[in-house]
């Protein structure tokens, strides 16, 4: 299986939603490690299994995106929108989800160990079997109804 790296030239050569067509052709084989994808519209894009480690997604629109099994270790998702996104089994260890919107997102089995979740909104999200040990939240973090973050291992600052 070949790993495809999207170059910065693709950001301007792929059309009005620059990464949309690039990602559709390479889903599951994508390696975007350390790229700056801040403020990019990736809504509905299939990024399942992609290596997105250390990618900057600041204010990116990932609404409805498929990130199942993606590696987002230490990614910066600050103020990003992931409403309805599929993050099932994704690795978000040490990721920054500060003021990130995850309304109705599927995080079943996701690894959020040591992630920063301050001010994030998880309302209606599925956190079943998610790993949250040593993750950091605060009193502005909005959890799904009935979810006990401290019982799940979250440290409330």
Give the per-residue pLDDT at 33.
85
Number of folded domains that form the chain: 1
Q: Residue 142 sits in a domain of what CATH number? A: 2.160.20.80
* Contact status, residue 58 vs residue 32, Cβ threshold 8 Å: no
Give the per-residue pLDDT at 19.
54
Could you tell me if residue 113 is inside a domain? yes
Annotate 76-121 with DSSP letters as a single string.
B-TT-B-TT-B-TT-B-TT-B-TT-B-TT-B-TT-B-TT-B-TT-B
Whole-model pTM? 0.83
Q: What is the pLDDT of residues 94-151, one digit of tens each?
A: 999 999 999 999 999 999 999 999 999 999 999 999 999 999 999 999 999 999 999 9
Could you tell me if residue 94 is inside a domain? yes
Could you tell me if residue 15 is inside a domain? no
Could you tell me if residue 2 is inside a domain? no
Could you tell me if residue 140 is inside a domain? yes
The residue among 106, 105, 139, 143 whose CA lies nearest residue 121 is 143
Boundaries of domain holding 92: 32-157
DSSP 16: S
For the cut 70, the answer to whether the pLDDT of residue 1 exceeds it is: no
Q: What is the pLDDT of residues 12-66, one digit of tens each?
A: 333 455 454 344 434 446 778 889 999 999 999 999 999 999 999 999 999 999 9
Q: How many CB atoms lie within 10 A of CB 12?
A: 8
Could you tell me if residue 71 is inside a domain? yes
Q: How confident is the model at residue 11 (pLDDT cuts 50, 70, 90)?
A: very low
Q: Which residues contact 147 (CB under 8 A, 6 or more apart)?
A: 122, 127
Could you tell me if residue 67 is inside a domain? yes
Q: Which residues contact 9 (CB under 8 A, 6 or more apart)?
A: none
Give the per-residue pLDDT at 38.
96
Could you tell me if residue 135 is inside a domain? yes
For the cut 70, the answer to whether the pLDDT of residue 7 exceeds it is: no
């Amino acid at each position: 299986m070949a790993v495809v790296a999207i170059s910065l030239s693709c950001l301007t050569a792929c059309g009005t939603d620059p990464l949309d067509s690039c990602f559709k052709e390479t889903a599951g084989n994508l390696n975007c490690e350390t790229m700056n994808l801040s403020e990019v519209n990736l809504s509905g894009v299939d990024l399942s299994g992609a290596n997105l480690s250390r990618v900057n997604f600041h204010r990116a629109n990932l609404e409805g995106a498929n990130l199942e099994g993606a590696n987002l270790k230490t990614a910066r998702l600050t103020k990003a929108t992931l409403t309805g996104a599929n993050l099932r089994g994704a690795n978000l260890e040490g990721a920054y989800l500060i003021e990130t919107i995850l309304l109705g997102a599927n995080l079943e089995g996701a690894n959020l160990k040591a992630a920063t979740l301050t001010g994030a909104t998880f309302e209606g999200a599925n956190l079943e079997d998610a790993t949250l040990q040593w993750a950091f939240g605060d009193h502005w973090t909005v959890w799904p109804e009935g979810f006990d973050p401290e019982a799940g291992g979250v440290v409330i600052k």
